[in-house]
Structure 1
Amino acid sequence: MIETYKRLHAAVWPDVLAQIKTSNIRNYTIFLREPENLLFGYWEYHGSDFDADMAEMAKDPRTQDWWTHTDPCQSPLATRKDGEQWAMMEEVFHTD
């Protein structure tokens, strides 16, 4: 479902983009590695309570609707923690 996923993200719904911003997420980027078909998401969190902001996002009806379209395009990693949409990664290096 690569082409479907790309098509959806070429025109993300404005309500979804607004919810991402309301949830204090900035500089959100999704990368695709083919032919392995691995997705890597990067964002910067600018809030003070990540868990609460993500819970609010998960309650948003328009975001829930969006996920009904995007989730079937993804196969989550088996090693993700309970409750994670995407498996989180530890930052081990950063430079500006």
Structure 2
Amino acid sequence: MIRMGQIIGVKPEEIEEYKRLHAEVWPGVLEKIRDCGIRNYTIFLREPENLLFAYMEYHGDDWDADQAKMAADPETQRWWEINKPKQAPLDTRAEGDWWSPLEEVFHVD
């Protein structure tokens, strides 16, 4: 299992709609997340900075293949089309990143 943290901005005028959408995530999107080995997936909001922090645990064997499978899913694509315009990627993100990955520096069970 691999723990992952990511951060991204969210446009202030989109926060309420983003929260509403994530209170009722489409069943097909949730199924694809599970199908791709992701568990314990949580998104937190930090206001007034308008930052989203995502935490997830990956239980699969091939992250790249599972991410490609998720990206190929039509329902997930529609979900992303609705939600991506609400997000504001960090200026400091690496090329090719949307959410910026975070380094794990401490963990205790």
Q: TM-score w.r.t. structure 1 length?
A: 0.95
Q: TM-score w.r.t. structure 2 length?
A: 0.84
1:1-96 equivalence runs, <5 A: 1-96=14-109
SS of corresponding position for 2:81: helix
Structure 1 unpaired stretches of 5+: none
Structure 2 unpaired stretches of 5+: 1-13
For the residues of structure 2 that align with 1:2 and 1:35, how far apart are their CA atoms? 11
The answer to which structure, 1 or 2, has the higher relative contact order (CA under 8 A, 6+ apart) is: 2
For the residues of structure 2 that align with 1:8 and 1:49, how far apart are their CA atoms? 29
Percent sequence identity over aligned pairs: 65
Q: RMSD over aligned Cα, in angstroms? A: 0.9
SS of corresponding position for 1:88: strand
For the residues of structure 2 that align with 1:91 and 1:53, how far apart are their CA atoms? 21
Question: Which runs of at least 4 in structure 1 moved beyond 4 Å after TM superposition?
Answer: none
